[in-house]
Amino acid sequence: MGKATGFLEFDRCEDAWIPAKTRIRDFNEFHVHLGEEARRCQAGRCMACGVPMCQSALRLKGMVTGCPLHNLIPEWNDEIWSGHYEHALSRLLKTSNFPEFTGRVCPALCEKACINGMHGSPVTIHDNELFLIEKGFAEGWMKPRIPALRSGKKVAVVGSGPAGLAVADQLNRRGHSVTVFEKQDQIGGLLMYGIPNMKLDKKVIARRRKLMEDEGVIFRTGCDIGRDLTFGELRESFDAVALCCGARKPRDLSLPGRDTCQEIHFAVDFLKSATGDLLSGAQEWTISAKDRHVVIVGGGDTGNDCLGTCIRQGAASVVQLEMLPRPPVERAPDNPWPEWPKVLKTDYGQQEAIEVFGADPRIYETTVKELVQEDGHLVAVKTVQVRFENRTLTEVPDTVKEIPCDLLIIAAGFLGCEDYVIQESSVQITQRNTVETPSGSYQTSVPGVFTAGDMHRGQSLVVWAIAEGRHCAAQIDEYLMGYTSLT
């Protein structure tokens, strides 16, 4: 624990956000971090709660609360309070491969299960984690850990998102020779091209790549398995293969005129183009929201990231459509701690839209019904209110409205693995179009071929991808060696 009475003496204090009017001028990260003394006090709020729910990853009513990585949170909070930062970092790295990623983009499942949140405010676990890893890099504690011995076994990891990187990191430390294949020009998967720079500066990914390369991991970017290199060639050259290709098949809208409309883009394509343009220093946006009336279909994190990007590009207006009902502002009686709080979240993009346009951009229980085009170009969309009843979506009569729109972004989630990857690898798939494995296993139907991350569990969080990657690595290690020392 931290300070015995810390939870009584110190109020919760999160890292501040740069004001919306200022931060929308660029794509820089927008958090202002606390100083060391203030951070020590925040860690001191961690209490001896007996059973630390924060590291439990409990599934309650279909939703998880607590850390999927089972981070040793009370231990490193105690070390932060005592000023033993390097010891705290060592405890964090015991269970977490990439705290610099989760410390930026994780929705903090751990904090939702913190016992201080039962009657007050939880510990700032998310911010404490980021403080530790950045302190580690700044102080030079994050040095390459090169295995003393190599096993002679070679492993191919297909995909360099958080799951693939976790598999590679774990197996390399075990002494196996790991090559990561990535079809894009940069590693990171959706960390690189699906999350905007203001949430995760791409220099952070480059820094981790350099460290992993110094430790012996080989990255082959611009190599698309199934097109540039066959799956059969991969299996012949390696002792085991880990498929971590994500669930990148986007959910589309079935609307007349959709296929010929040039002003409609999937969120992943829009965000990828924006990041690519930013990194290359392009003078113009490949897909630009500047001076355009934007409608975003999807009210989740990806839709919010599109919203923040559109505002930074200078959109004339932005509307965000969400098919589900508006969540309550406060917890309902049937949603007690430590269940995941089903309450309204106003994220950075919505905050910025309120600042710029004067209102929350979200319209709930609504979707696009029809495209309005003139001379082959999108000028508006007709929306309709919808209701979910008995898992069936129905339209509400007489609720059709027309909204100006000359850029439509679809952020409606994903439908699983891309078809060519499945066909090339010959693995079995589930009804959800994810790779099928036995319960509790990461071994596919093809001998020596494993899978992890979104490709295995479906679209999910970065922290779950890392957790899956760690478990998958342990099973690959056992497959190669007959036993495993990986946890």
User: In angstroms, rounded to a whole number, what is the distance separating the alpha carbons of residues 10 and 20?
Assistant: 27
Taking the complete model, does pTM exceed 0.85, yes or no? yes
User: In angstroms, rounded to a whole number, what is the distance separating the alpha carbons of residues 398 and 62?
Assistant: 35
* Full set of structural domains in the chain with CATH: 6-138 (1.10.1060.10), 154-248+415-481 (3.50.50.60), 264-410 (3.50.50.60)
**Contact in structure between 251 and 213 (CB atoms under 8 Å):** no
Give the sign of the dihedral formed by CA 430, CA 223, CA 171, CA 187.
negative
Side-chain half-sphere exposure of 21, counting CA atoms within 13 A: 3
pLDDT tens per residue across all 487 residues of the chain = 678 899 999 999 999 999 999 999 999 999 999 999 999 999 999 987 888 999 999 999 999 999 999 999 999 999 999 999 999 999 999 999 999 999 999 999 999 999 999 989 999 999 999 999 999 999 999 999 999 999 999 999 999 999 999 999 999 999 999 999 999 999 999 999 999 999 999 999 999 999 999 999 999 999 999 889 999 999 999 999 999 999 989 999 999 999 999 999 999 999 999 999 999 999 999 999 999 999 999 999 999 999 999 999 999 999 999 999 999 999 999 999 999 999 999 999 999 999 999 999 999 999 999 999 999 899 999 999 999 888 788 999 999 999 999 999 999 999 988 888 888 888 999 999 999 999 999 999 999 999 999 999 999 999 999 999 999 999 999 999 999 999 7
Give the sign of the dihedral formed by CA 220, CA 226, CA 227, CA 233.
positive
